[in-house]
């Protein structure tokens, strides 16, 4: 079910949160879903329903696409800043210390 959530757009997830997120019985949710989509017995049991509700809860995890590249968290920022300043001023042969950097 977690894999399926990757392919559901935000509007659909928000709809599920609004309509199904407040329900407490999987049979009630099944009744709504059969009216909306024609899917009979979307949830086979209470455990599936509870898993679905758990997945609907907003989370603070950042989803990363395959093409996204990571930056930053592992860097020591002082060293990164030093490297940037060094490269910027090394082309004009100016000492970093003389510029109070």
- Domain locations in the chain? 2-56, 71-101
Q: What is the spatial distance between Cα 19 and Cα 78, in angstroms, rounded to a whole number?
A: 49
Per-residue pLDDT, 29: 94
Print pLDDT tens along the chain (101 aa). 667 767 778 888 888 899 998 899 999 999 999 998 888 889 999 999 999 998 888 765 555 555 555 555 554 566 667 777 777 777 655 554 555 55
Per-residue pLDDT, 98: 53
Q: Can you state the angle between helices 26-37 and 46-56, rounded to 10 degrees?
A: 70
Report residue 20: phi and psi, to 5°. -100, -25
pTM of the predicted structure, to 2 decimals: 0.53
Query: Residue 19 has which token pair?
Result: 């309509």
72 neighbors 29 (Cβ within 8 angstroms): no
């Amino acid at each position: 079910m977690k894999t399926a959530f990757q392919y559901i757009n935000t509007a659909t997830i928000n709809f599920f949160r609004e309509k199904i997120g407040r329900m407490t019985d999987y049979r009630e949710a099944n009744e709504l879903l059969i009216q909306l989509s024609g899917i009979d017995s979307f949830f086979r049991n209470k455990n599936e329903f509870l898993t679905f509700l758990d997945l609907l809860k907003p989370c603070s995890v950042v989803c990363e696409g395959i093409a996204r590249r990571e930056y930053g968290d592992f860097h020591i920022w002082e060293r990164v800043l030093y490297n940037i300043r060094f490269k910027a001023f090394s082309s004009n042969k100016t000492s970093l210390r003389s510029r109070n950097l």
